[in-house]
Structure 1
Amino acid sequence: MTEPTPRRTPAGAAVLREDVTEAIRDAVFEELAAVGFARMSIEGIARRAGVGKTAVYRRWKSKLSLVLDLVGAFAAQGVPVPATGSLDGDVRALLEMASYALRHPIASQVIPDLLVEAARQPEIADAIRAALLDGQQGVMARIVREAVARGELPEDTDPAEALDLVVGPLYWRLVVVRTPLPEGYVDRLARAAVAALRA
């Protein structure tokens, strides 16, 4: 059996360098945080990344497609599922991860801006839903399933409602009201959420 002949890049085809792609992605997050989606431009992204506009347009046809790609990539990374062995520990770990992500300097600027844009552009709304909601719903479904198996929660516990109860207050405080978390807030929220889930 003969070895397959390796496919060669067609003559004249552009080879996209991964380091340039990563520089552009980093620049998008920084530009979103600095000026917001509405004022963000391909020119500004290229300048921040230290590349020409053509390098951006070779990879994405518009700023919308660029942002959707980034949000999709973020969603694909997934949210790690806590595995502490108890409902209390898992809820506390989930809240800690969520609060860390939402307090990140870039995320704290980018997420509220994209939520505003999501109200105007269905494509952004779908991407945000996949990045922020679907992943966390999957994590909460597993937390609930394992807690039910350990006898910590009733069998009819709804994972979607559990997610609202657990992380809803955190999103309200960090994304909507945008106030700092008081000391011990995550611990108190975790205890209150677990008590409510068990009630």
Structure 2
Amino acid sequence: MLVRMTTNADEPQTRPRRRAPAGAAVLREDVTEAIRAAVFEELAAVGYARMSIEGIARRAGVGKTAVYRRWRSKLHLVLDVVSALAVQGLPAPDTGALESDLRLLYEVTSRALRHPVASQILPDLQAEAARNPEIAEAVQKALRDGQEGVASKIIVAAERRGEVRVGLDDELALDLISGPLYWRSVVIRSPKLPKGYLDALARATAAAIKAL
């Protein structure tokens, strides 16, 4: 008689179960990454409200237990994935001038915000943030910390070069750097940036920061 064995190791649904080492559950990193990727895809496809652990597991090609071993609920899963964006950050430009640093930052940010997945996820999470303080905190941290780290390096470099006043209002500078592009790409969801928009934005922002 065949006896079906159970295991604590994560295995995709299509693979046979194997005996796991004794002790704590083995959490495979490739399975964890597959689940995280599935979260973004599922958020873009159905939104947070309709998203389910079952749908995430199916998209990742794993069993629901693999998800629940890592996160105890859909909310905690999304909070973890969104919060992880804050520590990834964007590369800090180092072109030797404030305006060209801003232009490069806007180019990278624009592509990220206009990515099909990001353009679907961000508005949905912002809507959920209005109803859920935990999601609001995670979204704010992911968006603000990611931009703030890069923007502060740009400002510090500009101060070091003597392009801007030392000790200027960092919060206001961050708003000037991040606000316009986010407004156009995420809030009003402009389908296409006008020709020369990023050049003009970098020039205007640099001038505004120098005037602080």
Deviations 1:145-192 (A, max 9, x none): 221221111224222211211221111111010012122211111111
CA contact (8 A) 2:57 2:67 kept: yes
Task: Indicate whether 1:182 and 2:194 are aligned.
Answer: yes
Matches within 5 A, 1:34-183: 34-179=45-190, 180-183=192-195
Are 1:193 and 2:205 an aligned pair?
A: yes
Cα contact 1:71–1:127 (8 A) shared by 2? yes
Check the 8 A contact 1:137/1:159 in 2, yes or no.
Answer: no
CA distances 1:85-117 after superposition (whole Å, capped 9, x unpaired) = 111111111111211110111111111111111
Give the deviation of 1:132 after TM superposition: 0.7
Percent identity of paired positions between Structure 1 and Structure 2: 68
Instruction: Confirm or deny: 8 A CA contact 2:114 2:185 kept in the other structure.
Output: yes
- Rounded to whole Å, the distance in 2 between the matches of 1:21 and 1:145 is 37
| Bigger Cα displacement from structure 2, 165-174 vs 13-22 | 13-22
Amino acid at match of 2:87: A
Unaligned runs of 5+ in 1: 1-8
Task: Report SS of the residue matched to 1:16.
Answer: coil
Kept in 1, the 8 Å contact 2:89–2:150? The answer is: no
Query: What residue is the counterpart of 1:6 in the other structure?
Result: none
Q: Choose between structure 1 and 2: higher helix proportion.
A: 1
How big is the alpha-carbon RMSD for the aligned residues of Structure 1 and Structure 2?
A: 1.6
Q: Retained in 2: the 8 A contact 1:92–1:190?
A: yes
The separation in 2 between residues aligned to 1:111 and 1:15, in whole angstroms, is: 33
The equivalent residue for 1:5 is none
Match for residue 27 of structure 2?
Answer: 16
Q: 2-side partners of 1:190 and 1:131: how far apart?
A: 23
When normalised by structure 2's length, the TM-score is 0.84
Distance in 2 separating the partners of 1:23 and 1:137: 29
In structure 2, how many angstroms separate the alpha carbons of the residues matched to 1:86 and 1:33? 37
Q: Distance in 2 between matches of 1:188 and 1:198?
A: 15
For structure 2, the 5+ residue unaligned runs are 1-19
CA-CA distance at 1:140 after TM superposition: 1.6
* 1:12 CA drift (Å): 5.0
Q: How many residues are treated as equivalent by the alignment?
A: 191
The aligned counterpart of 1:3 is none
Which residue in the other structure is 1:4 paired with? none
Give, in whole Å, the separation in 1 of the partners of 2:36 and 2:86: 15
Verify the 8 A CA contact 1:46 1:53 in the aligned structure 2: yes
